[in-house]
Amino acid sequence: MTTTELPVLKPKDFASDQDVRWCPGCGDYAILTQVRKVCAALGARREKTVFVSGIGCSSRFPYYMNTYGFHSIHGRAPAIATGIKAANPELDVWVITGDGDGLSIGGNHLLHTLRRNLNINVLLFNNRIYGLTKGQYSPTSEEGKKTRSSPMGSIDMPLLPLSIALAAEASFVARSVDVSKNLGDVLRRAAEHRGTAFVEIYQDCNIFNHKAFEYATDKATREDATLWLEHGKPMLFGKERDKGIWLDRCGKPKVVELGHGVEEEELLIHDEHDEAKAFMLSRMMHPHFPEPMGVFYQIQDFCYEQLLEQQITDAVERNGQGDLQKLLYTGDCYEVKEQAPTHALHE
């Protein structure tokens, strides 16, 4: 048997011939670069990869990948991806969505896709604004946010995407930032996870919500405003690595400075398999807490498409491979004996 060596693909091999049309300076560019790199690094095959999106700025993403792509309708990408993966489990399926697409109009599909746990990746670009429709508040906009559709300030409570993902029984929950050097690592972990990997990516909309995440990206503040999660490691952060997360006697997280009565060994240890702690981390918000980045939660469980295939295997074992002739002749069949028919029935 001879094997043909497949060519090693580089990030640029994943670029389609289409001009990228996001606004200059948009955070989406950085994410696109990282995704192409990760695809190359993981040895992904272009023909086996499908990017599915809904509607919104982020949903233009599939056009810029030289893979299979489906730019669908608003909010429905997770449902389309469900059908694709169920129909052909061999494909690597990525869903690209945004805070409006994924959490507002498509919130229902996101919830149920997460609990179905197909082996796909869901990247939610969170810019806390509606960009494509020119600047209305989104489900993740902060309370009081003044936009064209909320001139006196938004009175809606924002959603926390990771809290929702955890509540929806997601098997992999992570967060990163468009310009973070760690984004690639998080995406790689997501791609390697077997099950639905949900990644929230803070993304700067430099036109309608510029610097919404400046605290997490600015060199001066980012070390103090974010917390990089590492499994089995204490939750330590800050420019000087002198701050950490500590639980008080009520089990509430507190930011502490080391040396002021709390030592490093007393800090909370990150455990990726602890759902309750992951939920707690998902509620930690700037400026009261550093915002956690990295993998919050991960468990291994069966994937939907696996279970679907297994049921088919089991059914074939029990009933034998489906036989159309038999199916037609099941039920209450009866013979009409030889007679001189005048015509075929109902003709």
Q: Which of residues 266-325 bind other proteins (CB under 8 A)?
A: 308, 311-312, 314-316, 318-325
Minimum distance between the CB of residue 108 and other proteins, rounded to whole angstroms? 5
Among 71, 188, 194, 286, binds other proteins (CB under 8 A): 71
- Does 117 help bind other proteins (rule: CB under 8 A)? no
Looking up tokens 């939907």 gives 304
* CA-to-CA separations, 210 to 73, 186, 238, in angstroms, rounded: 26, 24, 24
Of the pair 192, 314, the CB lying nearest other proteins is at 314
Query: Could you tell me which residues come within 8 angstroms of residue 313 by beta carbon, excluding any fewer than 6 positions away?
Result: none
Among 5, 248, 265, 338, binds other proteins (CB under 8 A): 338
Minimum distance between the CB of residue 5 and other proteins, rounded to whole angstroms? 15
Judged by CB under 8 A, the stretch of 31-39, 107-115, 188-196, 234-242 that binds other proteins is 107-115
Return the closest-CA partner of residue 165 out of 17, 308, 281.
Answer: 281
- Does 16 help bind other proteins (rule: CB under 8 A)? yes
- Does 331 help bind other proteins (rule: CB under 8 A)? yes
- Does 68 help bind other proteins (rule: CB under 8 A)? yes
- Does 48 help bind other proteins (rule: CB under 8 A)? yes
How many residues make contact with other proteins (CB under 8 A)? 71
- Does 108 help bind other proteins (rule: CB under 8 A)? yes
Count of alpha carbons within 13 Å of 303, Cβ hemisphere only? 18
CB atoms within 10 A of CB 260: 8
Minimum distance between the CB of residue 78 and other proteins, rounded to whole angstroms? 8
Instruction: Give the footprint of other proteins on residues 219-248 (CB under 8 A).
Output: none
Report the C-alpha gap between 339 and 69 in whole angstroms: 60
Minimum distance between the CB of residue 9 and other proteins, rounded to whole angstroms? 12
Of the pair 48, 241, the CB lying nearest other proteins is at 48
Residue 226 backbone dihedrals phi, psi, to 5 degrees: -130, 165
Looking at the DSSP bridge assignments, the partners of residue 122 are: 95, 198
Among 73, 132, 159, 269, binds other proteins (CB under 8 A): 73
- Does 337 help bind other proteins (rule: CB under 8 A)? yes
Of the pair 240, 314, the CB lying nearest other proteins is at 314
Report the C-alpha gap between 271 and 340 in whole angstroms: 80
- Does 87 help bind other proteins (rule: CB under 8 A)? yes
Amino acid letter, 202: Y
Judged by CB under 8 A, the stretch of 139-147, 258-266, 275-283, 337-345 that binds other proteins is 337-345
At 217, which helix (H) or strand (E)? helix 214-217
At 186, which helix (H) or strand (E)? helix 183-192
Take residue 116 and report the two structure tokens written for it: 């179905």
Would strands 68-71 and 120-126 be described as parallel, antiparallel, or unpaired?
Answer: unpaired
Minimum distance between the CB of residue 2 and other proteins, rounded to whole angstroms? 17
CB atoms within 10 A of CB 201: 27
**DSSP helix/strand/coil, 54:** coil
Minimum distance between the CB of residue 173 and other proteins, rounded to whole angstroms? 20
Minimum distance between the CB of residue 187 and other proteins, rounded to whole angstroms? 20
- Does 109 help bind other proteins (rule: CB under 8 A)? yes
Take residue 16 and report the two structure tokens written for it: 């389609």
